């Protein structure tokens, strides 16, 4: 698996490999497992997905921190990577969180497809 260094790169690669819908399904599955009433449409554009994830992560961090931590646990985002996030700017922090969530979900989808 090639390293993907941005949210856009993850979304582009998932589309290139025809795995975008599987990425959406994996997100829906893990949000459901985390008891969050979020369902992404399989027809959602990558730009809209990124925007909705930003809004959701912002709301979770600001208003439902325990649920946010639970979501990261369910998705299996590395605790070390979370500790390394740059917290100087909240906008940057949200973008980094969205990237880590999508990266981990992408890894799950890619491994299931290839192994």
* The pLDDT of residue 86: 82
User: Structural domain tally of the chain?
Assistant: 1
Is 2 a member of any domain? no
Q: Which residues, 6+ apart, have CB-to-CB distance to 40 below 8 Å?
A: 24, 27, 28, 49, 52
The closest of 33, 96, 107, 106 to 70, measured between CA atoms, is 33
**Which domain does 50 fall in, by range?**
7-114
Confidence of residue 91 (pLDDT cuts 50, 70, 90): confident
Residue 1 falls inside a structural domain: no
81 is a domain residue: yes
pTM (2 decimals)? Answer: 0.94
Is residue 25 scored above 80 in pLDDT?
A: yes
- pLDDT of residue 33 exceeding 90, the answer is yes
Residue-wise pLDDT for 44-84, tens only, equals 999 999 999 999 999 999 999 999 999 999 999 999 999 89
């Amino acid at each position: 698996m090639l390293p993907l260094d941005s949210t856009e790169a993850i979304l582009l690669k998932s589309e290139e490999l025809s795995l975008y819908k599987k990425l959406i399904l994996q997100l829906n599955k893990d949000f459901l497992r985390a008891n969050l009433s979020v369902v992404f449409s399989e027809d959602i554009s990558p730009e809209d997905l990124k925007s909705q994830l930003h809004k959701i992560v912002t709301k979770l961090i600001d208003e439902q921190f325990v649920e946010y931590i639970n979501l990261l646990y369910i998705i299996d985002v590395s605790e070390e990577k979370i500790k390394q996030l740059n917290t100087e700017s909240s906008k940057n922090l949200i973008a980094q969180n969205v990237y880590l969530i999508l990266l981990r979900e992408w890894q799950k989808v890619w491994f299931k497809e290839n192994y």
